[in-house]
Structure 1
């Protein structure tokens, strides 16, 4: 398994775990209130920051425990990374458009922030899944 494939797996796992932790935290704080009345900013920022730190720490640990792993990137690695990023970016666009429309119709900030966060998470997941699949199979010819 190449270093870039390991990074894709790390991004995939960390993104899913962080978002699930966020959702569990928010749902656990409802206490009979409407979901949009739950204070979400703290957990949102904590899970995003925690995911960033976790990904960095896991990548450092991976480098420590596999010191002889090749860090060289060839053309295939670069193309797979590019494809994964292109595929994942579709959800960033969807999230931006959805947030803009939600602002226009004056939805609650809770829903706007959560749609943006969900789309960022989906972008990371979809991009990582694409990279892992392409690493396991042949690269598509265009």
Structure 2
């Protein structure tokens, strides 16, 4: 398994684990008044920071030289395009929520979900391309 394929696995695992942990924290802290009244900003910032740090730390632990050939470049482009399209489509939800003047909680969490889905799809496409050939 190449270094870039390992990075795609790490990115995908982090894209699943961190948002799930964030959701568990939110559900555990929800007040009786409803989920929209949850103090979400702190946990969301921690989740974003944790995802960044986990990706950096795991990437440095995996280590190895980054030698990119044409195949790696093409797979990277394909994965990033897929993530871009998912993010572009999923970003419509927070946009509509903002237009409808929904509570900030729902707008912010819809955007975080869109980012998480884009990361997950990007890494999944890269992993499939590495495994099945490109």
Q: TM-score range by the shorter chain?
A: over 0.9
Cα distance between partner residues in 2 of 1:102 and 1:31:
22
For 1:65-84, what aligned pairs fall within 5 Å after superposition? Answer: 69-84=64-79
**Counterpart position of 1:120:** 115
**Counterpart position of 1:7:** 7
Cα distance between partner residues in 1 of 2:86 and 2:46:
22
Greater gyration radius: 1
For 1:14-53, what aligned pairs fall within 5 Å after superposition? Answer: 14-53=14-53
**Counterpart position of 2:131:** 136
Question: Is the counterpart of residue 104 in structure 1 residue 99 in structure 2?
Answer: yes
Q: Give the TM-score normalised by structure 1.
A: 0.90
Q: Quickly say closer, same or farther: Cα 1:100–1:31, change in 2 above 3 A.
A: closer
Q: Give the TM-score normalised by structure 2.
A: 0.95
SS at match of 2:68: coil
Cα distance between partner residues in 1 of 2:96 and 2:66:
43
Does the 8 A contact of 1:99 with 1:115 survive in 2?
A: yes
Shift of 1:61: 1.1
In the alignment, structure 1 segments of 5+ residues that lack a partner are 64-68
Aligned residues: 134
**Counterpart position of 1:66:** none
Question: Is the counterpart of residue 90 in structure 1 residue 93 in structure 2?
Answer: no
SS at match of 1:71: coil
Map Cα deviations across residues 1-25 of structure 1 (whole Å, 9 max, x no partner).
1111011001001111100110000
Shift of 1:70: 4.5
Does the 8 A contact of 1:2 with 1:70 survive in 2?
A: no
